[in-house]
Structures are given as structure tokens and as C-alpha cells.
Structure 1
Amino acid sequence: MGWAIIGTWRMALEGIEKSAKLLSNGGSSGDAIETAIKMVEDFPYYKSVGYGGLPNENGEVELDAAYMDGDSLSIGAVAAIKDFKNPISIARKLSEERFNSFLVGYGAEEYAHKNGFERMNMLTERAIIHYKNRLKETVNKGLSPYDGHDTVGMVALDLANSMASGTSTSGLFMKKRGRVGDSPLSGSGFYVDSKIGGATATGLGEDIMKGCISYEVVRLMKDGYAPQEAADKAVFELTNLLISRRQKAGDISVVCINNKGEFGAATNIKEFSFVVATEKLPPTVYTCTVENNKTIYQVATEEWMHNYMKTRTAPLKLKLK
């Protein structure tokens, strides 16, 4: 049956490369998820996750994260937590609790402190520049402040046929203090069952929550749909439902794998990327396009890969006007 791991966005690549080695050597799906997501959280140039994540409207970095064990269905999550490194690790620790496994704000911070997790100011100078520039753009050009909500979500299958899933995000850029999206919510931002498969989502949390899309993908796989079929069906049914009821739908993307290591990805946006590795496939980045309610993906070109990192690591200057 083999092992597999999949993650949202190109930013998952380095973490998946490391966790692919772990899984190939018999490591657990839980360790693979935590290891890979921590690498994304620790890289300051990924401005929607962890250290370097973009702040809320008050200039504070509030982080959300979740972890799920596909064998026991145990879930741990934190939301609106500030000044602690690696919220995915805190979420995983919480999944061991029978009660009080989802903590928010000060309660999450108190738990993290009591359990020895590292305190860290997660607001970087680069994020401050992004914040100040966006304030100017919002006032001067009338642009929406809510750009930048790329959650890293992952699902893994190990050689023991156990599965796990995890998410981590700083949420909407310039969100209201205390705002929580889909990422730490079971069934919306993530869901995994080792007997079936797992899925994780990224996009506009307020719309993803309206369809509990990660659970829906897993349910469809349980009903016999292949991962790609399940992903497309869930994404486009929810997109069309939202358009029919509300006249618009936000960004919605999902990735998934079943308990055989087969994978799928779907999106309703023009440019979405994901990373996958299996026993037969080295860590690979794919870019997606949409045609007639179906997601088409291809291996990212070298030019695309170069431009991705060039854009994210380019020097920033504070705009004077």
C-alpha cells in the first residue's frame, strides 16, 4: 500500500521533502505532519503561516492550527493564539486530551506555557512593512484589506496504514481580532479517517465553513469516489451552491489522499498549487487550472518555481504615499 503525503501550496515543498524521507523509513504519519508543517511555520517569508504571518487589524499575529489522528479520530486545535512558536505542535499535544482539546486565545497561551512550548514574538519587520503598506493601499486606493489567507494543510499516510492531518495559518490579513476561519475546525479545514482517507482545505474560511468541505471529501471517498473525483465534486458543488444562494463564492481549494495513497486536488481559483510525495512519486509541485468544473494540474515549471520564491523573498520597502 505504501506511504503518501500531500500539502496545500508550494510552501509545503521543503517540509514534505523532509517528511517523505521520514515516511519512507517507517516514520509515523503524525510525526510527518508535525515535522512538515513546522518547517512552513518557521520560514519567515511565507506570510500566511507561523513566524512572519501577517497581522490582524490591530497589528497582532493571531495563529490557528489543528491536528487530527486518523486512527483514534482524536483532534487538537488552537485559535487566536499569540506569541508562541509552532502552533501545530501545541495542537498535536492537545489531541492527547480527552477534554478541553480545542483552546482559544489566552486559554491556548496558558496551556502552551504550562506545557513548556516556546514563547516567541511572531511578528517580523517584514510583516510590519506589509501591514503598513496595506493600510495605505486600503485608504488611498480603496483596496480590500483581506488578501493573504493561504493555509498550509497536509494529510499523510504511513507504512503502518495510519493517517494524520494538520493545518496552520495566520488567517485573513487584517482580520478582526479574534476572527477564526475554517483551518482549526474539524470537518471544514481538515478531516482524516485512516479507514477511508483525509482532506484539508485552504481559501476563504467563511465560505469553506458553509460546506464542511473536508468532511464532505472524505465522505465521498467512503462512498466510492476516487480522491480526484471527490475533490472536484465537493469543491464545485459548494461553489455553485454558494453562487445560487449568495451570488458569489470565495476561494475554495482542497487536497486529499485515500488510504491507498491515491491523491486528488481541486480548486475554484485561477492559480492554486500543491505538493505531493508517495512511495512512487518524489516530492512534486503541481499547479492547477480549472476547466468546466474540473481541476486540471501539471508539474510546475522551473520558471514558475523560480518566480514563486523570487516573489516571496524579494526585499520590501515601506511605501511613502
Structure 2
Amino acid sequence: MWGIIATWRMAIEGIEEAGRRLDDGAESGDALEAAIRIVEDYPFYKSVGYGGLPNENMEVELDAGFMDGDTLDVGAVAGIRDYANPVSIARLLSKEKVNNFLVGAGAEAYAHKHGFERKNMLTDRGIAHYQKRKKETVDKGLSPYSGHDTVAMVALDEHQSMCAATSTSGLFMKRPGRVGDSPMSGSGYYVDSEVGGAGSTGLGEDIMKGCVSYEIVSKMRSGMHPQTACEQALNQFEKALIRRRGKSGEMSFVAMNNKGEWGVSTNAPEFSFCVATKKEAPIVYLSHRDEAGHCHHEPASEEWLEAYARRIKAPII
């Protein structure tokens, strides 16, 4: 049995490629890295990789994390600039004995030393988004912060090995050096091949207040189905934030166990995700939460998919 699950519609092309590789017997880490690189390389996905939206100084700073569920090895980068495919840098760091999490100039020096592609990640479209947002918010004295759509994935291969990874350009117009939950193991992602894995997307400042991805895996370890584990972990954490802070940001979680069973939870009005398994062809789902805290998933309609494609490529005016 193999499977892969990911946050957001933007992951479907990567999921399709990973599914083909997993069906041919590829290792979970190779399939997962290939899938995220596809998302990172597409210029119209404005919250990940090339074309990712910049910080307040109009610089693209990228974060990524990778975890091997067999060894529990973790690698991560944060605030890295001018390097393509940070997920691949994070994966290589996971193989190091020490210095597994590098930031800023240190991450860039490591990438350069190991021959990773140096690339200007700021696109003309990203600049246009920045200028539009600045006029609409900063110039009027309003908060500019928006956009926090991390791609998080969990993969299982035919050998029962699992991996998890994340990649993001973070909060749009964030302060230079800002890092959210995405590269942090236990918070942005966690995986154990003996159990399963989970990953997150949403407002990093709230998600990193807990170790929800780890909590989901812990609940699955006790025998809980991934769907129930996702719902319970999110609902409990959200209630704690509201009780102690008065509010909770939007957050969503995806999970898969080592049987290929999967689950998703969200407190957003609507959350899209992608999944493929040996028994289920790659598909985009939409998830909504009811008043009882249960999430219901339905396949995205052709109309929804077409509207999405038009929206991400629409002219910036």
C-alpha cells in the first residue's frame, strides 16, 4: 500500500507525479521531494518557492522542513534567499549528524557549498502583488499581512517507509527574518513510519504555539483513525487558544497513517487538499467543518477547479 496527501489544490500536479513514482516502487522520500519541487517551481503559486510573495522589504525568504519517518531524521531551512527548491536543501540537511536546521546566511552558504541552484525567486508578478498590497494597506495605515498557504505533504511507500515535508514563502509582507511553524518539526510536520505523519498550514504564529502535528501522530499511535486524530487535535488546540487568548487563527492539518488511511481537519471556511493512494486516483477535495467540529470532504467540482485556475493566473490590477 502506498499513499500521499498534501495541503491545498496547488499540490495536485506534484501529487500526480509522486503517485506515479510510488506506484513504480519509489521510496517515499524521493517521491515526496519530487512532488514539492513541482509546487516550488510553479510561478503562479504565490505562497511557495519561485513566485512566492515577498517580505516587507520585497525580498523572498523561504522556509522548508523534511523528516524521515524511519530514522526520525529532520532537516530544515528558514529565511533562505535566492535558492530554488528549499525542500531539497532541507532533505540533505536531514542526513547530517549535526547542524540540521540552518537559517539565513548560514543556510545559503550550505546551499552554495553543496551546489544547489542559485536563482532570483522574486518574479515580476510577485512585485506586482507587493505593490498592489502596499497601496491597499500600508499606504493607508492598515495591516498588510495576508497569505500563509504552506504546502505540507506526508507520503507512504510500498515498503511502509514514510516521510513528511513542508515548503513556504511564509506570511506575505512579513518582517525580514520572520519564521512560522512550517520548518519546525512537531509543529509544521511530524512523521513516524511505525505510526503515520501529519502536516499543517495556516497562521504560523498560532500553529507554533502548539505541537499539533506531533499530537496528531500521538493520537494515531494510540489507535485513532487519522480523521478523528486530526479533528480532535485541532478542536482541542483551537479551544485552548480561544480560552487563553480570546481568538484563534485559521489552521488546517492533513495526516496519513502507515496503512494509507488519511484524515484532514480545518477551522477555515473552506480548505482544499489533495490525496492519492494505491486505491484512489489523485484527487482534489474541499473540506468544511460543521458546528460539531467534524470535517466533511467532497471532491472539488469542475467549476471550482476552473475558477481556481483562472484566479491564480488573473491579471493583477
What's the counterpart of residue 304 of structure 1?
304
Q: Which segment is superposed worse, 288-297 or 135-144?
A: 135-144
What's the counterpart of residue 114 of structure 1?
113
Whole-Å Cα distance in 2 between the matches of residues 271 and 141 of structure 1? 29
SS at match of 1:312: helix
Percent sequence identity over matched residues? 61
Alignment of 1:30-179 (within 5 A): 30-139=29-138, 143-179=142-178
| Contact map agreement 2:201 2:253 (CA 8 A) in 1 | yes
Q: Deviations over 1:52-80 (max 9, x none)?
A: 00000111000000110000000000000
Whole-Å Cα distance in 1 between the matches of residues 297 and 98 of structure 2? 41
Whole-Å Cα distance in 1 between the matches of residues 13 and 111 of structure 2? 26
- Which one-letter code corresponds to 1:71 in the other structure? D
Alignment of 1:249-260 (within 5 A): 249-260=248-259
Change (3 A) 1:157 1:55: same
How many Å apart are 1:140 and its aligned residue?
Answer: 5.2
TM-score normalised by structure 1 residue count: 0.97
1:230 aligns with 2:229: yes
Whole-Å Cα distance in 1 between the matches of residues 146 and 85 of structure 2? 23
| Contact map agreement 2:138 2:144 (CA 8 A) in 1 | no
What's the counterpart of residue 282 of structure 2?
283
- Which one-letter code corresponds to 2:297 in the other structure? Y
SS at match of 2:64: strand
How many Å apart are 1:139 and its aligned residue?
Answer: 3.5
Q: Deviations over 1:72-123 (max 9, x none)?
A: 0000000000000000000001011010010000000000000000000000
How many Å apart are 1:141 and its aligned residue?
Answer: 5.1
1:19 aligns with 2:22: no
Whole-Å Cα distance in 2 between the matches of residues 254 and 17 of structure 1? 20
Whole-Å Cα distance in 2 between the matches of residues 201 and 158 of structure 1? 21
How many Å apart are 1:144 and its aligned residue?
Answer: 3.0
Q: Deviations over 1:25-49 (max 9, x none)?
A: 1001001110000000000000000
- Which one-letter code corresponds to 1:305 in the other structure? L
Whole-Å Cα distance in 1 between the matches of residues 256 and 20 of structure 2? 18
What's the counterpart of residue 315 of structure 1?
315
SS at match of 1:16: helix
Q: Deviations over 1:236-274 (max 9, x none)?
A: 111111011001000110000000000000000101110
CA RMSD across the alignment: 0.8
- Which one-letter code corresponds to 1:188 in the other structure? S
Q: Deviations over 1:153-206 (max 9, x none)?
A: 000000010000110000000111000000000000000000000000000111
Whole-Å Cα distance in 1 between the matches of residues 14 and 46 of structure 2? 16
TM-score normalised by structure 2 residue count: 0.98
How many Å apart are 1:149 and its aligned residue?
Answer: 0.6
What's the counterpart of residue 27 of structure 2?
28
Alignment of 1:176-195 (within 5 A): 176-195=175-194
- Which one-letter code corresponds to 2:299 in the other structure? V
SS at match of 2:137: helix
How many Å apart are 1:143 and its aligned residue?
Answer: 4.4
What's the counterpart of residue 196 of structure 1?
195
Whole-Å Cα distance in 2 between the matches of residues 279 and 144 of structure 1? 45
Question: Which sections of structure 2, spanning at least 5 residues, go unmatched?
Answer: none
Alignment of 1:199-218 (within 5 A): 199-218=198-217
SS at match of 1:171: coil
Whole-Å Cα distance in 1 between the matches of residues 160 and 105 of structure 2? 37
SS at match of 2:288: strand
How many Å apart are 1:224 and its aligned residue?
Answer: 1.3
- Which one-letter code corresponds to 1:213 in the other structure? V
Whole-Å Cα distance in 2 between the matches of residues 246 and 309 of structure 1? 37
SS at match of 2:166: strand
Whole-Å Cα distance in 2 between the matches of residues 139 and 254 of structure 1? 31
- Which one-letter code corresponds to 1:94 in the other structure? L
| Contact map agreement 2:191 2:197 (CA 8 A) in 1 | yes
